[in-house]
Structure 1
């Protein structure tokens, strides 16, 4: 899955282990949940880290929700769940793989 390169302009905050924003493991890097979206460090700036397309997680039978055992992350107008190094989001009767 590719993500567009979208600079988060005028982002002067430096994310890190003690910055106060939730760290979200994402493949080979860490995203940070900030104001309902995710930031990824890129060279000398921060990118918006969002999926470029809709990708359904096939054959995902587990139902995420309170007490499911997976960490919830606020993302815009919904909650994603961290599951095996990626985020799952409910979408029209299935789970999207972010």
Structure 2
């Protein structure tokens, strides 16, 4: 999975433990859910942290939903579910791995 480097140029808010936005562990860093997308600190600025391409999570037998026990993250026009250190998004009868 590749992450685009798309700087959020007018981001004046500083994310952190008490900023009020949901923190999402993402590999070696933390993303913050803000206005329907994820922000990541990078080299003194904030990036939009979005995957490129379409990565299917194969072999995912668990069905996510309101009572599945996984934390949710509002992401644009859908909800992602935090599962095993990554985000799952339902798509065309399977889950994508963000």
TM-score normalised by the chain length of structure 1 = 0.98
Stretches of structure 1 lacking an aligned partner (at least 5 in a row): none
- Root-mean-square deviation (CA, aligned residues, Å) is 0.5
4+ aligned runs moved over 6 Å, structure 1: none
- Can you list the C-alpha shifts for 1:18-42, whole angstroms capped at 9, x where unaligned? 0000000101110000000000000
Q: How does 1:67-78 map to 2 (within 5 A)?
A: 67-78=67-78
Match of 2:89 in 1: 89
SS in 1 for 2:57: coil
- Listed as ranges, the matches of 1:13-24 within 5 Å are 13-24=13-24
Distance 1:94 1:65 in 2: 13
State the aligned residue count.
Answer: 98
For 1:30, the equivalent position in structure 2 comes to 30
Other-structure match for 1:55: 55
Q: Which runs of 5+ in 2 are unaligned?
A: none
Whole-Å Cα distance in 2 between the matches of residues 72 and 47 of structure 1?
21
